[in-house]
Structures are given as structure tokens and as C-alpha cells.
Amino acid sequence: MKTTVAIAGLGSRGRITYAPFASLHPDKMEITAAADIDPGALRETAKTYHIPEERCFTSAEELLAQPKMADAVFICTQDRDHVSQALTALERGYHILMEKPISPDPSECRRLLEASKKYDRKIVVCHVLRYTPFFSRMKELIASGIIGDVVTIQAIENVGYWHQAHSFVRGNWRNSETTSPMCLQKTCHDFDLYLWLADKTPLRVSSMGNTWLFKESCAPEGSALRCLDGCAAKDSCPFDAEKIYVTNEKTGIACGHTEWPVDVLALHPTPETIYDAIKTGPYGRCVYHCDNNVVDHQVTNIENTDGSTINFTMSGFTSDGASRYCKIMGTKGDLTGDMYKNTIEVGLFGKPRQIIDISQLAEDFSGHAGGDNRMVEEFLDMLQTGKEPEGITSLEQSINSHLVAFAAEESRLSDGKVIEI
């Protein structure tokens, strides 16, 4: 039996990441309604998934004002809209899959938790890393007791120089006044992940970070407001929009790349549409002359209720973008994880180190290293069977990671002051 789904928000996550699951697994998911402010994305989605015109809407609010149109709704809109839309969806009787973060407002997070209990609906926040083969295996190793009690975790999120420029300098998540702070919108993934891996409860947090590079005072001599407007620093600038979206061998349209990030710039990416977007849109702006204010590097320290600690670093200054390293240290040994190499190294005290090649454990590593599709599948299976999978992210657990993020940002803005949770 398949689950019917309405998708609110047809951007990179809603249209490009989650909607295709309906084509991959038509026996499990059918899209029966959709909403977006972009008429082109709405038409494209309706055509692809055979959604009737009367079930296509120009906003999530318009969709949710209708009588219930599906078993579940995927909320893939902007950060500050999530809770108001989710509350209406609960009243209508929908189960909810929601993009993170829940909200930049702690009171809204608590309000949503209360409403979910009142209406007895499932809400899963998209902390997709839990569902990856990489971290699923790491969770199994820790839970087995092989490294003993977890005492210390050191972790690094390598955002990547071009991803930082794309999403957090030029893109939708560049300004905390309109979205949310970096530690909430980006690294709540990691706060959720490491607390879940080690089964820890946070007690207090301290954090430091700032916008080191992407600001006007760091602009090179001769820089222009847009990359294609005669910038004198263009040839030597790694953040040049033409390099990232056209010529880069991993991300550029000229190298045959038509998926993320270029599909954010144009509904149908071609050299012509991408050049047009760079010339006229936000993704062609100089990274030193944008209206961004989120940090480009941040360190967060977490002390847990049992005295164990987590040290986490987020940096936009890495060449290996969108990867993570971690070292989980226990009383009997340690685990060293490298998502870039897709390996976990097991070091037990007094024994030879062993390397686990995660690439041999699964076939699908698309979409957050295989986490996106597995998360959607587990969410749909939960609705059909009524049983919660062990790794699925409950709303309570998601809020816990958000509390760490709220405390981290408060600490950062208070010169690293320790904040109790």
C-alpha cells in the first residue's frame, strides 16, 4: 500500500531530492498535491508526477487551507515558515516530514512539540545523516560496546569553499535575519548526529566563530560587484561564479554537470541559462559584496550530563566540500571516520587497527551519502506499519539538537560564554 504525499516547497530539497522517490518507488509513494511560489517549478513537478491542476498551489498556505489531500506533507519551505505551516498541517490531519531546522525560535519548537502530541501525528525532521550507510555502521559499532563507553568526540564538518560561497554567502541561507544562524541551519545536522551516535544528553555549551573572509573589508583590489562585470581579481579568485558554475570539473555546467548546485540557478540548466543566472541573479554576485552575515567558521564545545565531551568544528575553508571527519574515543578504543574516503578505522587498545570500507556495504550513496532516500523510505514505512525504526529522528530528539544550536549561537555572541541548556 502506497502513502500519498503533498509537497510544500519545490526547491532543491522538495523537487530535486524528495519528489523523485515517487518515481523510484511508485509502490510506496504517490505525490497528490504540490505548492511553490515559482510557477515554473510547479508546472515541472505537476507534469512529471501527473498532479492535476486543481491540486497545484502557489503557496504552502494555500495548499494547507484545502481539505486534506494526502496522508503526509513534506514541508520544504524556508526556515521561518516551517512551524506555522506544520501547525496548520497537524490540524488538517497530516503526518509531516520537515526540512531542518524546525525554527530559529525556541518557543516555536516547543509549541510544535505540544501540538504533535495533541493531534497524535508523526513529525520527522530531516536529519538525514542518521540514515547514511556510513553513520549507521558507526552507530552499530558504538552500540556493540567494542570501544567501551564514549568519553570524547572530535568532529569536523568540511563545508567546502564553493559550498560556503554558494549556499551561505550568495544563497538562500546567507543571512540569519531572514533564515537562521549557521549553527542551526547547517550544523544542527551534526549536533543531532553525535548526540545520537553516543547516546548522550547535552548539559552546557560554549562556542566561538565569526565571518572571517566573506565581507567587504576583505575584497581584493579591483573587485567588482558581480563576477562578470570586469572584476580585476577574477582570474585568481576561487569563488568566481563562472569557475564554480561553469568550468569546475565537479560542479560546472561546461563539464556536463546539471545537478546541484547548478540546478538551483536554473530550472533547466544549460550553459546559456547558467550564464544568464550569473549575469543577473544572486549567484553571480561577488562573495565580498553580498548581504551575508552567517559565520564561515565556528567551534562548539559540548559537555554532556555524564561528563563526556564533544568538540565540533565547522569550516567553509576546505577543499573537500560537504564531507565530515570524526574521532569517537572510548574506554576500550576509538573509531576514526572519514566520509570523504568512506572509511571507518577501528582502533582497539593493544590490537592492530582495522579499516572498514563503507563503499562495500551499500550501492546508493546519492543524496547526502545515501541518507536522503533511506530517510524518506523509513518515514513512509513507519506510516504504513505504525512502527518507528530505531534510527528515525523523533521531534523530541530534533529539538534537543536545536537547543544545542541555540546555546551555541548565544555563546558565540557572548564571547564564548558557557551556556547551560
SS (H, E, C) 383-414: HHHCCCCCCCCCHHHHHHHHHHHHHHHHHHCC
Cell matching residue 220: 581584493
pLDDT at 320: 75
pLDDT at 367: 58
Using pLDDT thresholds of 50, 70 and 90, give the confidence band for residue 365.
Answer: low
In one letter, which amino acid is 368? H
Q: Which residues of 362-388 are buried (b: 16+ CB within 10 A; e: fewer)?
A: beebebbbbbbbbbbbbbbbbbeeeee
Question: What order do you get walking across the sheet with 309-315 strand by strand?
Answer: 354-357, 343-348, 333-338, 323-330, 150-158, 309-315, 297-304, 202-210, 419-420
pLDDT score, position 386: 86
DSSP annotation string for 94-107: -EEEEPSPS-S-HH
Q: Which is the CATH superfamily of the domain at 129-214+292-364+394-420?
A: Dihydrodipicolinate Reductase; domain 2 (3.30.360.10)
- Can you give the residue ranges of every domain in the chain? 3-125, 129-214+292-364+394-420, 216-284
pLDDT at 375 over 70: yes
Q: Which superfamily does 3-125 belong to?
A: NAD(P)-binding Rossmann-like Domain (3.40.50.720)
Q: What is the pLDDT of residue 35?
A: 98
Whether residue 233 has pLDDT greater than 90: yes
CB 123 within 8 A of CB 96: yes
By CB atoms closer than 10 A (0-12, 13-18, 19+), residue 123 is: buried
Contact 308, 328 (CB under 8 A): no
Does the pLDDT at position 68 exceed 90? yes
Local structure of 341: helix, strand or coil: coil
What is the number of residues in the chain? 421
Q: Is the pLDDT of residue 7 over 90?
A: yes
pLDDT digit string, tens, across residues 165-216 = 999 999 999 999 999 999 999 999 899 999 999 999 999 999 999 999 999 9
For the chain, percent of residues with pLDDT exceeding 70? 99
Average pLDDT, the chain: 95
What is the mean predicted confidence (pLDDT) over 380-398? 86
Residue 366: is its pLDDT beyond 80? no
One-letter amino acid at 333 equals: G
Cell numbers 544572486 correspond to 282
Query: How far, in Å, CA of 227 to CA of 359, rounded?
Result: 38
Whole-number percent of the chain with pLDDT over 90: 89
Q: What is the predicted pLDDT for the residue at 362?
A: 72
